[in-house]
Chain A
């Protein structure tokens, strides 16, 4: 199974040749393609000179391996403390990714979009509600379920009404359960304490 190793070499070359993207060392590439573990901020910090900017660049970079981009998107969640400021780089990178890719329907984009939505919720920026709510009606059930989870994590009770609206018309059991869970959490007196 040499395809993986070939991809690894190609990835290093691609990122090196791509002038406006972060230079990925082999070790950094490995960390951002770990298959059964999520890299910790400590591991990221020790492998990137400027981890936040590097991750933000990787997340947006069109020439970057999708697996690396997904992990970079997820890692961004670690680079601001909830509730984050909406001008934090980590938050802006995620919002920028979602805004740019939300209309795309191809499977690869959906997988990355799911990762970005999942990372956005725990940052708990209340003003993200208008960005997330329309995604409850996304054609992909995976995006709808991820959005329900993100709204749960966002801890903005204004999400209750749109969640109930979507629940009434939702066809997927997976999404219905995600919405029920979000409503259960948001209906508590202090949902995020």
Chain B
């Protein structure tokens, strides 16, 4: 073809589009037939097939074949997904339900407020006036309606008595939000989205002498759970200042999608029900949305200079965060044993970090009545903060920590566990690892298989053997029942 003829053909192509479906990305097109096989025509330009609606831009859905479908719903039309409404409109969740009990939604002008995924505390914070689980959520029909990293799941609408809607929620990791203040003895609604593996709820009172208790809990089916029964749904031991609830309690008690109703009561000492407290607990919920099983540990070291058994415990060398990262007694005997114990439970150790706390001499030899002062230095929200102190008082205590701990929350009065190293004068690093593993497992939600007062864990397959990791004596073993393993693997501390 001569040069003049070739030029005339190119001009023809530009004027007439892409005959034969050969258009590349960005080429002008009238329909998808003008584009290459793996492309489609969107807004008169060839574009890659979509995976999710945001690939197509505002006002489009992404269908199951990967083609962008323009929204058609106008202001006032009913809708079920953000992708149903034309540009400038949002699919806004209403408060009425249809015959099937589904909340009815309609296209309404979108506001300038926060987009989907942003943190929020009320509906008006969000562009579509939908704030749930502390985040702005878009309505959806399928996951392809949602952005990357999110999935279309059922979420209870607390403001509509727990009626479910489908919203774009982050598909993995931890999701934390604050629940608005209840009044004392008030009922608190706890929404559980569809993909929840487990949930941890911390009740924190400014007055640390007061105690938040849960007097009852009703599941989304309307069944009231007896907190004290062996088949209880929750793990919760009230504590002054901060109490933590964990669900589910055992593999035999599934977690239901929907809104649980908790009866929360604040009490003054002696916490017998006769002295109601006036505090309002700050309530923070954290849900685990995936089945990841990595346990991050954050080690904190108090001052171990002039330690009584430094020769045998630390091989005579100074012991601190730097030394611990290379010392074989710590890496092999302690961390190695921890790794082995948790591997038995199907949990793998994730990242480990090391921090010195040498400027807190008042906490080097710790009286447990001051434990909250130390634990509040545990700034890491994920994983478990592990504090090594010289000794604990009362003498004989080798470890201390909440049961369960405020998973997913750092800097609280219970954000971690404490291990006393003076026991290295009569126990090995491997033994200390078993103590630490026991305490970390309590933080993750396991109870003692049998306690010193003969209380037993309600998990149905848990025995009372001293060979169990959760046996209360420091001379116990490291075995775990299947039920215990399941609770560990669901823990909100895992990432």
**Chain B positions within 8 Å of A73 at CB level:** 395
Give the interface segment out of A63-71, A85-93, A159-167: A63-71
User: Is there contact, CB below 8 Å, between A39 and B452?
Assistant: yes
| Residue on A nearest B439 in the bound complex, by CB | A36
Q: How far is the CA of A43 from the CA of B395 in the complex (A)?
A: 17
Q: Given A43-B452, A108-B309, verify A38-B394 contact (CB < 8 Å).
A: yes
| Residue on B nearest A2 in the bound complex, by CB | B477
Residue A95, interface by CB 8 Å: no
**Chain B positions within 8 Å of A124 at CB level:** none
Q: Given A43-B453, A65-B426, A140-B308, verify A5-B362 contact (CB < 8 Å).
A: no
User: Is there contact, CB below 8 Å, between A33 and B303?
Assistant: no
Q: Given A67-B427, A177-B362, verify A1-B433 contact (CB < 8 Å).
A: yes
**Chain A positions within 8 Å of B396 at CB level:** 34, 38, 67, 70-71, 74, 115
| Residue on B nearest A176 in the bound complex, by CB | B361
Q: How far is the CA of A116 from the CA of B386 in the complex (A)?
A: 27
User: Is there contact, CB below 8 Å, between A36 and B425?
Assistant: no
Q: Given A8-B466, A8-B473, verify A174-B452 contact (CB < 8 Å).
A: no
Q: Given A38-B397, A65-B426, A177-B361, verify A4-B476 contact (CB < 8 Å).
A: yes
User: Is there contact, CB below 8 Å, between B475 and A8?
Assistant: yes
Q: How far is the CA of A1 from the CA of B423 in the complex (A)?
A: 17
A142 touches which of B391, B433, B472, B474 (Cβ 8 Å) = B391
Q: How far is the CA of A59 from the CA of B49 in the complex (A)?
A: 78
Residue B428, interface by CB 8 Å: yes
**Chain B positions within 8 Å of A67 at CB level:** 396, 423, 426-427, 474-475
**Chain B positions within 8 Å of A65 at CB level:** 426
Q: How far is the CA of A67 from the CA of B426 in the complex (A)?
A: 7
User: Is there contact, CB below 8 Å, between A5 and B306?
Assistant: no
Q: Given A8-B466, A111-B425, verify A35-B399 contact (CB < 8 Å).
A: yes
C-beta contact mask, B11-30 vs A, less than 8 Å → 1, else 0? 00000000000000000000
Query: A interface, by DSSP: helix, strand, loop or mixed?
Result: helix
User: Is there contact, CB below 8 Å, between A30 and B472?
Assistant: yes
User: Is there contact, CB below 8 Å, between A118 and B394?
Assistant: yes
User: Is there contact, CB below 8 Å, between A111 and B306?
Assistant: no
Residue B211, interface by CB 8 Å: no
User: Is there contact, CB below 8 Å, between B308 and A30?
Assistant: no
User: Is there contact, CB below 8 Å, between A1 and B478?
Assistant: yes
**Chain B positions within 8 Å of A142 at CB level:** 308, 365, 390-391, 422
Q: Given A1-B431, A108-B309, A110-B308, verify A34-B466 contact (CB < 8 Å).
A: no
Residue B467, interface by CB 8 Å: yes
Residues B290-328 near A (CB distance < 8 A): 303, 306-313
**Chain B positions within 8 Å of A8 at CB level:** 466, 473, 475-476
Residue A168, interface by CB 8 Å: no
B452 touches which of A1, A4, A34 (Cβ 8 Å) = A34
Q: How far is the CA of A149 from the CA of B367 in the complex (A)?
A: 10
**Chain A positions within 8 Å of B135 at CB level:** none
Residue B376, interface by CB 8 Å: no
Residue B430, interface by CB 8 Å: yes
B425 touches which of A1, A66, A146 (Cβ 8 Å) = A66
User: Is there contact, CB below 8 Å, between B309 and A33?
Assistant: no
**Chain A positions within 8 Å of B129 at CB level:** none
User: Is there contact, CB below 8 Å, between A114 and B401?
Assistant: no
| Residue on A nearest B469 in the bound complex, by CB | A1
Residue in B340, B361, B396, B438 with the greatest tally of chain A CB atoms within 10 Å: B396
User: Is there contact, CB below 8 Å, between B425 and A108?
Assistant: yes
**Chain A positions within 8 Å of B435 at CB level:** 35-36
Residue A29, interface by CB 8 Å: yes
Q: How far is the CA of A110 from the CA of B424 in the complex (A)?
A: 12
C-beta contact mask, B383-406 vs A, less than 8 Å → 1, else 0? 000000011011111111100000
**Chain A positions within 8 Å of B439 at CB level:** 35-36
**Chain A positions within 8 Å of B310 at CB level:** 107
Residue B364, interface by CB 8 Å: yes
Give the number of chain B interface residues (Cβ < 8 Å): 54
A119 touches which of B395, B453, B478 (Cβ 8 Å) = B395
Give the number of chain A interface residues (Cβ < 8 Å): 45
Q: Write the nearest CB–CB distance from B456 to chain A, whole angstroms.
A: 14
C-beta contact mask, A140-172 vs B, less than 8 Å → 1, else 0? 111001100100000000000000000000001
Residue A3, interface by CB 8 Å: yes
**Chain B positions within 8 Å of A31 at CB level:** 452, 473
**Chain A positions within 8 Å of B412 at CB level:** none
Residue in B307, B401, B426, B472 with the greatest tally of chain A CB atoms within 10 Å: B426
| Residue on A nearest B467 in the bound complex, by CB | A5
Residue B434, interface by CB 8 Å: yes
Residue A131, interface by CB 8 Å: no
Residue B337, interface by CB 8 Å: yes
**Chain A positions within 8 Å of B364 at CB level:** 174
Residues A15-40 near B (CB distance < 8 A): 29-31, 33-39
Residue A11, interface by CB 8 Å: yes
Q: How far is the CA of A67 from the CA of B427 in the complex (A)?
A: 8
User: Is there contact, CB below 8 Å, between A172 and B426?
Assistant: no
Residue B341, interface by CB 8 Å: yes
Q: Given A3-B428, A71-B396, A174-B361, verify A33-B474 contact (CB < 8 Å).
A: yes
Q: How far is the CA of A118 from the CA of B401 in the complex (A)?
A: 22
User: Is there contact, CB below 8 Å, between B474 and A111?
Assistant: no
Known: A35-B435, A37-B452. 16 other contacts (CB 8 A): A1-B340, A29-B473, A34-B396, A35-B473, A36-B397, A36-B399, A36-B435, A37-B397, A37-B472, A39-B452, A65-B426, A107-B308, A111-B425, A114-B422, A142-B365, A142-B391
Residues of chain B having any CB pair with chain A under 8 Å: 303, 306-313, 337, 340-341, 361-362, 364-365, 390-391, 393-401, 422-423, 425-428, 430-431, 433-435, 438-439, 442, 451-453, 466-467, 471-478
Q: What are 18 of the A-B contact pairs (CB < 8 Å)?
A: A1-B431, A1-B434, A3-B431, A5-B467, A31-B473, A33-B474, A35-B474, A36-B398, A38-B394, A67-B475, A70-B396, A110-B308, A118-B393, A118-B394, A118-B395, A119-B395, A142-B365, A149-B393
List of 3 A-B pairs having minimum Cβ-Cβ separation, nearest first? A115-B395, A107-B309, A66-B426
